[in-house]
Amino acid sequence: MIEITRDGPVTTLTLQRPDKANALTGDMLSGLADAVEGAGDARALILTGAGKVVSAGMDLEAARDGLATSPVWERLSGAIAAFPGLSIAALNGTVAGGAMGMVLACDLRVAVPGARFFYPVMKLGFLPQPSDPARLAALVGPARAKLILMAGQKIDAEQALSFGLLDEVVTDGDVMARAHALTADVVAAELAHAKAIKALCTDPDHMPQ
């Protein structure tokens, strides 16, 4: 249920469960984490979903079996955050629940105009995955993170853009074309160069004196 496509230095991971709104099972999460960790010398990573929804979040049957508290969520988001190249979430539709974690861990997020974002952990009685609130707050600020996580608000694409949750709304809807366009410079560079620039952006200790 995960399609892995390698186009030279670009690896694309596509959730392939459109009949279930790409709801995530344990096997899918493990497959995603394996694919990210095994991306090798790829200089760009694109995450997307088949159909009109990126992911409705956690599969309900899997949730009943304990997936909500599985460490595989953190393994996946940690692998994405540690990816040395440029990671892009190409959001072809709505992202809900735990699926937000992998989106938040990406370097960039581009979405279709009709995308919506929500993370109903308060309503469902779950805690968010440990790293998700901090990543969300880093993008949108603490108050807006609480608006999503505690007040349970659904955020549309334009709001997400104004909040800083999205980097771009792709007006023609072709998020994959836009994602590939955004990889052009990093694909033309050496991986070590991309990794060094990423470190400068994310870790003040790496800033030159």
Query: For position 8, which CATH number holds?
Result: 3.90.226.10
Exposure b/e, 67-103, CB count within 10 A at least 16 = b: bbebebbbbbbbbbbebbbbbbbbbbbbbbbbbbbbb
- At residue 204 the predicted structure's pLDDT band, cuts being 50, 70 and 90, is low
Place of tokens 């190409």: 90
pLDDT at 202: 81
Return the higher-pLDDT residue of 153 and 202. 153
pLDDT at 13: 98
Return the higher-pLDDT residue of 206 and 128. 128
Tokens read off for 139: 């993008």
Contacts of 180 (CB under 8 A, 6+ apart): 10, 46
Provide long-range contacts, Cβ within 8 A and 24+ apart, for 14-17.
14/48, 14/49, 14/50, 15/48, 15/49, 15/50, 15/54, 15/55, 16/50, 17/50
- At residue 206 the predicted structure's pLDDT band, cuts being 50, 70 and 90, is low
8 Å CB contact between 170 and 89 = no
Domain span at residue 11 reads 2-206
pLDDT at 126: 83
pLDDT at 61: 83
The average pLDDT across 71-92 equals 96
pLDDT at 22: 97
Residue 208 scores a pLDDT above 50: no
User: How high is the mean pLDDT of the chain?
Assistant: 93
147-163 confidence digits (pLDDT tens): 999 999 999 999 999 99
Q: Work out how many domains the chain is built from and give that number.
A: 1
Q: What are the DSSP calls for 53-102, one per residue?
A: EEE-SB-HHHHHTTGGG-THHHHHHHHHHH-SSEEEEEE-SEEEGGGHHH
The average pLDDT across 110-134 equals 93
pLDDT at 205: 67
pTM greater than 0.85: yes
Residue 133 scores a pLDDT above 80: yes
